[in-house]
Chain A
């Protein structure tokens, strides 16, 4: 694991956008062959109930664009003052160019601006914060971090083994250079050993599309799959110890953290991390996933917007953020958030 302490970097605003269309696990008549008892058991154990999904013509970039525009307008930021844009997602608009360039145009940003895509999912928000903080210590002054995913596009992932638990969302976070900012502590790890635990085998260049890679309705088979038990074992083994290591590295006491905002993987995983860390569950937001689903990289900013909107808007908070998943990767950060702009949860409005 790589630990770092980065100064001069401060979050000034977070905006999150979700699609309007809501689906419920209770409506999934095909799941477990319609066995209501089993479906209710999944809901009770996992915490999942509702999720939001985009229409076919809406992408992750669209959700992030609306979130970014909200942030720019509410914070009254000049677009020509943004000199960095990072788009973190596994659901880009195109293979080429990177979606960050498309968003650079749509958001009206200037040429003196570094843009990049970072393919990360559930650990993506912390990963993006780390990248943004490094850029702010390398000449940039104001970074727009856009994190989101639309896993509902991976329709073949939703079988009994995986269950339809992923929700779509986009987020925008503005991070500025501030020499008075409290340090941000990071702990980031990677393991390719089990890279196939959560994977789409189609869509890249290893497996070129064949005739039978399409459903009758023309949709592409990404051949997405998830080994839930393996992922769960990974979270039990790695997450709590990595958070403990970060607390030790930062000399921050466990009890002085106001909230532990963890990736909204599922309620069962969050409860088990709370047990392993011996922290009260009240300090871990867990309700966002039941309303909006597992939103991958956007789940941390969405949980902040959903549960902690008032806290981060009006108070000084020390948060511990932790994302984990695809890769496999896991990343934690201890960050001070002091009276920022927070949008709450906004619904996507399609541009006419």
Chain B
């Protein structure tokens, strides 16, 4: 799975109607970004990229770009 495909899966898991989200979007600006989103994102990392990500690392991210960078090296 490449970076763009993984980004798409993260957005899909948010169940959001917001179509303007890009990598530079701040997580805090997305209504659906909450504690449940942290959990679905952890699952996406594990199931799609076989990576374990600590919740604290996700909480330290400001943008979707920061999130995607956590898996740098794991993309196809």
Complex interface: chain A residues within 8 A of B55 (CB): 227, 229-230, 233
A236: contacting residue among B34, B38, B42, B58, CB under 8 A: B42
Complex interface: chain B residues within 8 A of A161 (CB): 35
**What does the 1/0 interface line of A212-242 toward B look like (CB < 8 Å)?**
0000000000000001111011001100000
A106 at the interface (CB under 8 A from B): no
CB distance from A333 to the nearest CB of B (A): 25
A206 at the interface (CB under 8 A from B): no
Q: In chain B, residues 1-56, which have Cβ atoms closer than 8 Å to a Cβ of chain A?
A: 15, 31-32, 34-36, 38-40, 42-43, 46-47, 52, 54-55
B52 touches A268 (CB 8 A): no
A45 at the interface (CB under 8 A from B): yes
Complex interface: chain A residues within 8 A of B42 (CB): 229, 232-233, 236
Number of B residues, CB within 8 Å of A: 17
Q: In chain A, residues 265-321, which have Cβ atoms closer than 8 Å to a Cβ of chain B?
A: 268, 272, 275-276
A58 at the interface (CB under 8 A from B): no
B39 touches A275 (CB 8 A): no
Name which residue of chain A comes closest to B46, CB basis: A236
A237 CA to B39 CA, complexed, in Å = 13
A46 CA to B58 CA, complexed, in Å = 20
Residue with the greatest number of chain A CB neighbours at <10 A, chosen from B38, B43, B54: B43
Query: Dominant SS at the A interface?
Result: helix
Q: Among the listed stretches A7-15, A36-44, A138-146, A169-177, which one makes contact with chain B, having 4 or more residues with CB under 8 Å of it?
A: A36-44
A38 CA to B15 CA, complexed, in Å = 10
A38 touches B35 (CB 8 A): no
A42 CA to B34 CA, complexed, in Å = 11
Known: A229-B42, A272-B46. A45 touches B52 (CB 8 A): no
CB distance from B38 to the nearest CB of A (A): 5
A227 CA to B39 CA, complexed, in Å = 11
A38 touches B54 (CB 8 A): no
A45 touches B43 (CB 8 A): no
Residue with the greatest number of chain A CB neighbours at <10 A, chosen from B32, B34, B58: B34
| 3 nearest CB pairs, A to B | A229-B55, A232-B39, A229-B38
CB-defined A-B contacts under 8 Å, sample of 17? A38-B31, A38-B32, A41-B15, A41-B32, A160-B35, A227-B55, A228-B39, A229-B55, A232-B43, A233-B54, A236-B42, A236-B46, A268-B39, A272-B43, A272-B46, A272-B47, A276-B47
